[in-house]
Amino acid sequence: MQVSSVTNFGRSGLSDWLIQRVSAVILLLYIVCHSAIILNTPEMTYALWRDLFAGTTMRIFSLLTLLALCAHAWIGMWTVATDYLTTRMMGSKATLVRLVFLIGCLAVLAVYFIWGVIILWSV
């Protein structure tokens, strides 16, 4: 008996699990990096802040983090939805509710990602 996983885009549980952990590390690194920069800058000005994000390395790092965030959020929300928005918990309407919820999540993440890219490239 194989458990079907149609709704998670055919990814395996293993890759989900790995992505979740790798993306968490990326997010943590990003936070630590920025905290360190802010704490080590006596007076943060607009010009400094702008320069910081204009560099290619930072741009790639930010983009990677944005990707990690979206992947992390998607896997997390998919997992939450398949735990709580199930036929077992709420009857036959569950499949529709879950679908709507997940499409909503996808839409928010897509907007968030595109918006993020636009911001990064506008610097």
Note the residues at the interface with another protein (CB under 8 A). 1-5, 8, 11-18, 79, 82-84, 86, 88-89
CB atoms within 10 A of CB 97: 16
Q: Read off the tokens for 20.
A: 């979740």
Rounded to whole angstroms, the Cα distance separating 77 from 113 reads 16
Q: How many CA atoms lie within 13 A of 59 on its CB side?
A: 12
Q: How far is the CB of 2 from another protein (least distance, A)?
A: 6
Nearest approach, Cβ of residue 19 and another protein (Å): 11
Nearer to another protein, 11 or 59 (CB): 11
Nearer to another protein, 16 or 68 (CB): 16
Q: Quick one: 15 or 35, whose CB is closer to another protein?
A: 15
In angstroms, give the least distance from the CB of 15 to another protein. 8
Q: What are phi and psi of 67, to 5 degrees?
A: -65, -45
